[in-house]
Structure 1
Amino acid sequence: MTLVVLGVDALDPDLVDADAHPNLTLAAHGAIGTIDSHAGEPSTHELWPTIITGLPPSEHGLELGDDGVAWGNPVLEFGSAVADYLLPDSLQTRLGAWLLTNTDTDAFRTPATYYADNGLTTVFDGREAEPIGVPNYVVDPDSEDREHALRRSLGDLFERDPEATGGHTSSDPETFYEQCMEMAMIRVARARRAYRGGRHELVFAYTSGLDLIGHVTYDRPELQRAAYDELDEFVGELRADLGDDDELLLVSDHGLQDGVHTHEAMVAATDGSLVESIESVTDVRAAIDAELDGTDHSGTPTHRPAAGEGGGVGGDRVKEQLEDLGYM
């Protein structure tokens, strides 16, 4: 048995519909509370550490500054420190936007070692777990997958502009949309691959594609609607992989409407009791722990036989194929 958690940045409870999006609403779904940053709206940088620890930002220590510049990177921290002493608030905001647009840094890539170093526990501790792209929980800071590479190469497809609705602009929204949906496909595919390997009791993957699209489509709502429709199909493929004893949990950090983060997040699950146990982003970690502690989620590969065995579903399929080809 495996619990698969898919973190969908900005999945908004007001924008899903059980009839149109059966794979985004699953057996049960609902809105949950989130936490605002110093800037007055929920921050992705702060909330995924909250989701995996169960702690508010003030306790896990990963917070944005008032100017929107993130902790955890020397260049950004230097810019923030200089801004605090030398620049008025309006120019601090512009400096933060410039730093985050024009440096090669990624403000989401705090290493996983940060947590143990600061006496913090996470949902991954002591488990056969596979974290995939979780913001600010980077197992190998020297590697990146295709979603990271695409995000870092967006250029003028996604530029920070504090004066724009949603705080961002795009030189080509249609091309930007395609890249963001590719990012979502990659992370869902990686979750499917990790599940199929059968070595993990917890697979926890994250994608930012829906959030990025929402920030620049405030005047193109059809693109945001299309993103929800496509993402529903991607999650449907993941859902179809799961066995009867497996569970799927979707969770977001906030919603996003009209280009701006909203003050509600969302959960959906194949097991309604998981949804019932989560009222806030601070409850997600406890709900995952309870599910994993209460049920045996150890398992064997789902699409190939276990090591040293020739049987199982995978083995039967191979045997049938060899018989059809005349080799057995």
Structure 2
Amino acid sequence: MTVVVLGIDALDPDLVDPDAHPNLTLAAHRSIETIESVAGEPSTHELWPTIITGLRPEDHGLTLEDDGVAWGNPLLELGSTVADFLMPDALQTRIGAWLLTNTDADAFRTPATYYEENDIETLFDGREATAIGVPNYVVDPDSEDREHNLRRSLGDLFERDPDATGGHTSADPYEFYEQCLEMAMVRIARARRGLRGGRYELVFAYTSGLDLVGHVTYDLPALQRSAYDELDEFVGELREDLADGDELLLVSDHGLQDGVHTDEAMVAGTDEAMVEAIGSVVDVRAAIEAELRGGDHRGDREEGSFSEAGAAEVKGQLEDLGYM
């Protein structure tokens, strides 16, 4: 059977309601502690490596610098060296923001080989597992899916602006919302595909759509609420795919309210014991590994265990979204 982990960036425990969002709260849910970066708020760049390794950012080494830009990313490292010598801090921050908005540089695409090269163990080591879009754990740096493509094509729909509430602006929040929800659909459809294939004991997928919506809807709270409602429906489709013995865990790296990251993350799961074992983002890896050890999660689902209609639905979603 299979453990499915869905990383939902910025899923906020204060914004979910068990009655309105049964699929975002599952059998059990709770808020958990997260970790602030040197920039003064929790950082996606640092926290997903923490979640998959169980190590704090200073121990796994993927951290933000004091200006809040991930200059340590290989794609920005040369710029960092020049910037340190030639540019004041404020200008470094603005140029870093421009690079991440307008070029192919991506602070979240550290290759998976980084961990082995630095003797860092991860949740994926030694087991049949698939990592789908996990920030800073890129299995194939030359390959991108629809979420990556959408993020790169946003243009003025999502621009970094250190002076704006939430650090970002959008020329059209409603069009931006539609693209963000499409991102979430892509990743959840890929998770469903990974589950259906029957080859994995662990399927770990990630989506940034909810976080992106939250950054630009600080003055449009109804739009953020709508994102939670739609995401609950998407997760419900994944939940329906679970067979007996499968488990689903939702995890976030931080919350997001009024356009700003908050210092509470959350977990929700079909297994109450796994949820109770997680009090912090540092605990996620150990709880998942305990679940994998305690059950027969060998990825032995038969290929035909889903109905043909269900399989066609998942494949159709991926084709419509440009993934297949």
Query: In structure 1, what residue type is equivalent to 2:177?
Result: Y
Query: In structure 2, what residue type is equivalent to 1:296?
Result: D
Q: Equivalent residues in 2 for 1:31-70 (5 A)? A: 31-70=31-70
Runs of 4+ in 1 over 3 A off after TM superposition: 71-75, 299-303
Give the deviation of 1:290 after TM superposition: 0.4
Q: Distance in 1 between matches of 2:66 and 2:182?
A: 32
Structure 1 residue matching 2:203: 3-state secondary structure: strand
Give the deviation of 1:244 after TM superposition: 2.3
**What's 2:96 paired with?**
96
**What's 1:267 paired with?**
267
Matched-pair contact (CA < 8 Å) for 1:69–1:77: no
**What's 1:296 paired with?**
296
Deviation readout 1:174-199 (Å, 9 max, x if unpaired): 11000000000000000001001111
Q: Distance in 1 between matches of 2:56 and 2:172?
A: 37
**What's 1:322 paired with?**
none
Deviation readout 1:215-254 (Å, 9 max, x if unpaired): 0000111110000000000000000110121100000000
**What's 1:106 paired with?**
106
Indicate the structure (1 or 2) with the bigger Cα radius of gyration: 1
TM value normalised by structure 2: 0.92
Matched-pair contact (CA < 8 Å) for 2:128–2:299: no
Give the deviation of 1:295 after TM superposition: 1.0
Q: Distance in 2 between matches of 1:261 and 1:55?
A: 21
Query: In structure 2, what residue type is equivalent to 1:197?
Result: G
Structure 1 stretch displaced more, 92-101 or 217-226: 92-101
Q: Equivalent residues in 2 for 1:1-328 (5 A)? A: 1-302=1-302, 304=304
Query: In structure 2, what residue type is equivalent to 1:10?
Result: A
Aligned alpha-carbon RMSD (Å) = 1.6
Structure 2 residue matching 1:177: 3-state secondary structure: helix
Query: In structure 2, what residue type is equivalent to 1:173?
Result: P
Q: Distance in 1 between matches of 2:83 and 2:296?
A: 51
Query: In structure 2, what residue type is equivalent to 1:261?
Result: H
Matched-pair contact (CA < 8 Å) for 1:8–1:208: yes
Structure 1 stretch displaced more, 9-18 or 65-74: 65-74
Unmatched runs of 5 consecutive residues or more in structure 1: 306-312, 318-328
Matched-pair contact (CA < 8 Å) for 2:54–2:285: yes
Give the deviation of 1:106 after TM superposition: 1.4
Count of equivalent residues: 309
Q: Distance in 1 between matches of 2:75 and 2:298?
A: 42
Query: In structure 2, what residue type is equivalent to 1:186?
Result: V
Query: In structure 1, what residue type is equivalent to 2:229?
Result: D
Give the deviation of 1:298 after TM superposition: 1.6
Structure 1 residue matching 2:39: 3-state secondary structure: coil
Deviation readout 1:73-127 (Å, 9 max, x if unpaired): 4442233333333333322221221221122111111100000000001000001
Q: Distance in 1 between matches of 2:137 and 2:64?
A: 16
Query: In structure 2, what residue type is equivalent to 1:177?
Result: Y
Give the deviation of 1:275 after TM superposition: 1.0
Matched-pair contact (CA < 8 Å) for 1:72–1:110: no
Q: Distance in 2 between matches of 1:76 and 1:203?
A: 30
Structure 1 stretch displaced more, 101-110 or 123-132: 101-110
Unmatched runs of 5 consecutive residues or more in structure 2: 311-324
Matched-pair contact (CA < 8 Å) for 2:72–2:80: no
TM value normalised by structure 1: 0.91
Structure 2 residue matching 1:250: 3-state secondary structure: strand
Q: Percent identity?
A: 78
Matched-pair contact (CA < 8 Å) for 1:63–1:71: no
Structure 1 residue matching 2:31: 3-state secondary structure: strand
Structure 2 residue matching 1:6: 3-state secondary structure: strand
Q: Distance in 2 between matches of 1:128 and 1:259?
A: 38
